[in-house]
Amino acid sequence: MIWGKIIRPAIVVLGLTGCLEDVSFPDEPQIEFMSFIVDETDNAVLSFSVTDGDGDLGLNTDDIQPPFCPTCEHYYNLKCEYDELRDGVWTHIELNPQEGQVPFYYRVPRANPSGSNQAIDGVIEVAMNTWYLQSSYDTLRFRITIEDRSLNLSNEDTTSVIVK
């Protein structure tokens, strides 16, 4: 697989709300895919909703001590696993950074809810300037998970089918 120009994506956290009255969510993050929109310049934006009952979602840039150090498993808190539809079967494509392939892993910034109820209910948007691999297959999807600072892993959700 050939990886195109590497551009670090921007992550925008929209509408995360603390201080939610009469709302209770599980402490584990819950996500739901909303959209994957490709613009005329072939850049994409992935959007999904997220809730987190105890409000410990996201990382600061200085959160680099274990278990969030750059070489640690939990350095990235948002993972988008890449699958291609190959001969009618969804096939996970394992990316190898040692071969110049950059996984679709991101660090979502820390949300800072205020008030006594720390619950989070909002939308995360990820600008994915490079969102597909050079391949003879033209159909793909992403499987998305997010992890909070307590290392609680969300449910996995899948994007709609994406055609290059």
What are 45-96's pLDDT values in tens digits?
A: 999 999 999 999 999 999 999 999 999 999 999 999 999 999 999 999 998 8
pLDDT at residue number 21: 59
CA distance 101 to 3: 6
129 confidence band (pLDDT: 50, 70, 90): confident
CA distance 92 to 1: 13
pLDDT at residue number 102: 83
DSSP-derived secondary structure for 24-79: ---SS-EEEEEEEEE-TTS-EEEEEEEEETT----B-TT--STTSSTTSTTS-SEE
- What is the tens place of the pLDDT at every residue in 13-31? 544 544 445 678 999 999 9
Q: Which residues of 40-50 are buried (b: 16+ CB within 10 A; e: fewer)?
A: eeeebbbbbeb
- What is the tens place of the pLDDT at every residue in 77-91? 999 999 999 999 999
Structure pTM?
Answer: 0.85
pLDDT at residue number 110: 93
For the chain, what are the domain ranges?
11-163
pLDDT at residue number 8: 42
Q: Average pLDDT over the chain, rounded to whole?
A: 87
pLDDT at residue number 98: 81
